[in-house]
Amino acid sequence: MGERLTPGDAAPDFTLPDDTGAQVTLSDLRGKRVIVYFYPAAMTPGCTKQACDFSDSLEALRAADTEVVGISPDSPDKLARFRERDGLTITLLSDADKSVMTAWGAYGEKKLYGKVVEGVIRSTIVVGPDGVVTHAQYNVKATGHVARIRRDLGIE
């Protein structure tokens, strides 16, 4: 498992394919605040709730010069189906080999129904316009999380 990021850390750069296959690079978003969130699997109940909450908040977030990037190990094709099925407007990226998740501390051992398993740790990291981490939250709950991050960032 990679080290968990903490405020003040430089956010590791990455380039990943989105749901259309286009490459998205984190450093290309410099100058804006970026919410990078990691989720286990598209089209599951918790991940759908979280993605829909971020999509519903995207207009307010963008008004505050903030972008949202959701990352999962799903293929671009599955992400495209997820976007279409749920009308998602956020950027969805595929980290099939989990290298970005690992570098960001969002992949490793976690408890699932009382058992220790290896997998995606639902996490949200906020990267400032300068590429430095301002907030890092691991093992977050899908429900209510977007409202909390908006409060933390002072975005109504």
Residue-by-residue pLDDT tens, the chain, 156 positions:
568 999 999 999 999 999 999 999 999 999 999 999 999 999 999 899 999 999 999 999 999 999 999 999 999 999 999 999 999 999 999 999 999 999 999 999 887 788 888 899 999 999 999 999 999 999 999 888 899 999 999 997
Contacts of residue 84, Cβ cutoff 8 Å, sequence gap at least 6:
none
Report pTM: 0.95
**Taking the alpha carbons of 22, 24, 28, 30 in that order, is the dihedral positive or negative?**
positive
Q: Which two tokens stand for residue 126?
A: 């906020």
Is 52 catalytic? The answer is: no
Using an 8 Å Cβ cutoff, are 125 and 133 in contact? yes
CATH code for the domain defined by 7-151 = 3.40.30.10
Give me the catalytic one of 16, 47, 79, 127. Answer: 47
Q: Where are the domains of the chain?
A: 7-151
